[in-house]
Structure 1
Amino acid sequence: MSLLEVFLGTLEVTLPVFAMVFIGIALKRGGWIDTHFVNTASNLVFKGTMPVLIFLSLIKADIDTAFSPSLLAFFALATLATFLLSWAWAIWRVPHEDRGVYVQGAFRGNCGIVGLALAASMYGEYGLSAGGLLLGVVILSYNILSVVVLSAYRPGRSANWRSIVKHIARNPLILAVVIALPFAILEIGMPQWLMTSGEYFASLTLPLALICIGATLSIGALRESHDTAMGASLMKMVTLPLLATGAAWLVGFSGRELGLLFLYFSSPTAAASFVMVKAMGGNAKLAANIIAISTLLASLTVTAGVFALRVLDLI
């Protein structure tokens, strides 16, 4: 296969995902959708369509293939390592008051939407099922580590750990995984009409979520960004994916598992990071700029990463 064919094949994976993000930008700028629509649609995706998507993908999956303890364990350890590396770099290079926001922006990826969409685009049902299982690790580790680092740089405020644990336990995405596992393991069937209706509903998830991401972005963030925002974005989109994916390859991951790990490691900064920063009294503007810059960079860095891994015949 020629380099051109590999590159065109790579674009077939990444372009449909990022095209929806840019369509969201255009719809918002054209006045076709507004903030109220984005808030309502985002709520529908988080509480409704995405849990159904994860549930259906898991009950239809071959759990023996999709469930990989080594994959889940490596992702958790790699997340902790990238978190600590980002923190160490922030101590050296970032002003004290912005370190918590920098670290969260650098390690916390938007795996639930962008990562899962890319996994589905590249690997179909396997990407959805294995990616859905990974989301349990993502939600737990990202939320806990984010609170730790943001609390460390807000000495006047203490984290409400009971509320955080309750929030995680009630997370619709985690509940979808927990509810789906018995169905998948015991091979419990569901009526075909219910499966079909669920698939119609779940099919709204990825396009609607990606359009909402685009609608919340600000191109002006590129002009307004300063060194801290750009540094965190480059750490998130270039440095950490290279290190984490390289480590995954060194310990023996390859093929679909390595590809899935790369897509999750290289997802842009999660929009939820802005909400958490604002709630804890941090620099919300810096958080928003990191989200915008990393999301816009993702169309280039993810495409380049998938292309490189395919050229090297690693995925």
Structure 2
Amino acid sequence: MNSNFVIAVEAVIPLFCLMFIGIMVKKYHLLSSIELVHLNKMVFEVFFSIMMFYNIYTTDLASTLRPKLMIFGAAALFVIYIAAFSLVCFFEKDNRRRGAMIQAIFRSNFVLMGIPLVSNIFGDDAIAVPTMMIAIIVPLYNILGVFTLETFRGRKFAFWPIFIQVLKNPMIVGALLGAVCLLIGLPIPKPILKPLGQITAATSPLALIILGASFEFGSSRKNKLQLGICVISRLLIVPAVVLTAAVLLGFRGIELVTLISIFCTPCAVASFAMAQQMDSDADLAGNCVVFTSLLSCFTIFFWILLFKELGMF
């Protein structure tokens, strides 16, 4: 069997096995909806914060800090956002749908699915590079997401309150604390660092199980065209454009796979919650999350296999 095919399978299958476990948890009612909400909150506010801290604190800055990758990732995200905003506003006239569609196109499930994807290909020691990217990508996702939904809700966008909220994001707090402790050389005793590492190892699997258990299939018939545009854009058009540019600019190896983990993963679960809270089309947002998550099993496999066959990593 082609070794590149095997690598692609080994990168993708673990993600969806964990999500399938979550689907079974939901099917057999092992967690109530309230328990699931609390568990999800714990993972995002505690586990991901610890993961960010641990990965940055234990990293070798000389080998993991990639300014070129950070600049390209942020620039590509802005270009995708502007293109999505312009095209959606041109073709879609309903403001409630506009916000949900724009978020679905530019905002990916990078943290939940991208980090374990890199780990499955390069091993746990390599996730420091995509972890560094979280500190750039996640704040941009939050700021642009709020800006978009506030715009189509008809309210004024206030940058500084939103920026302060972004700084309070548990992942950003963990990243900043990890960076400070690393830069000042603060020694953390092994008996404390070890359990932090164990929590870090458990974070992605638990988050993917919760993602599977959180799937809700809404009514997709009334939004078929909009849903189709979002799914095709998120899983095919955005990756094709960004990854082509990345290859032409010379990104290879873990840097290219990190970009795959950012721009090829499905719609962010947070986009559904934000759509609910900010008067956007929550049904459309929810269906975008579900359908892109399910179909990304095939599209992520395709992108990994393609670039592996081309010898890019």
Structure 1-normalised TM-score? 0.93
Instruction: Provide the secondary structure at the position in 2 that maps to 1:17.
Output: helix
Shift of 1:267: 1.4
Further displaced range: 178-187 or 193-202: 178-187
Quote the residue 1:313 is aligned against.
311
Quote the residue 1:168 is aligned against.
166
- Is the contact between residue 151 and residue 157 of structure 2 (CA under 8 Å) also seen in structure 1? no
When residues 225 and 29 of structure 1 are mapped into structure 2, their CA distance, relative to the original with a 3 A threshold, is: farther
Alpha-carbon distance between aligned partners in 1 of 2:18 and 2:299, rounded to the nearest angstrom: 17
| CA RMSD, Structure 1 to Structure 2 (Å) | 1.8
Quote the residue 1:122 is aligned against.
121
Alpha-carbon distance between aligned partners in 2 of 1:294 and 1:102, rounded to the nearest angstrom: 13
Counterparts of residues 1-315 of structure 1 (less than 5 Å): 4-97=2-95, 98-155=97-154, 157-219=155-217, 226-315=224-313
Number of equivalences: 312
- Is the contact between residue 217 and residue 287 of structure 2 (CA under 8 Å) also seen in structure 1? no
Alpha-carbon distance between aligned partners in 2 of 1:257 and 1:126, rounded to the nearest angstrom: 14
Alpha-carbon distance between aligned partners in 1 of 2:222 and 2:152, rounded to the nearest angstrom: 24
Unaligned runs of 5+ in 1: none
Instruction: Provide the secondary structure at the position in 2 that maps to 1:100.
Output: helix
Identity of aligned residues (%): 24
Deviations 1:173-210 (A, max 9, x none): 11111111133345443211112121222232111110
Shift of 1:294: 0.9
Amino acid at match of 2:141: Y
Shift of 1:164: 1.6
Amino acid at match of 2:294: L
When residues 225 and 153 of structure 1 are mapped into structure 2, their CA distance, relative to the original with a 3 A threshold, is: closer
Further displaced range: 253-262 or 144-153: 144-153
Alpha-carbon distance between aligned partners in 2 of 1:234 and 1:23, rounded to the nearest angstrom: 26
When residues 274 and 220 of structure 1 are mapped into structure 2, their CA distance, relative to the original with a 3 A threshold, is: closer
Shift of 1:244: 0.6
Amino acid at match of 1:38: L
Deviations 1:223-242 (A, max 9, x none): 77511012112111111011
Shift of 1:219: 4.8
- Is the contact between residue 218 and residue 286 of structure 2 (CA under 8 Å) also seen in structure 1? no
Alpha-carbon distance between aligned partners in 2 of 1:260 and 1:254, rounded to the nearest angstrom: 10
Shift of 1:61: 1.6
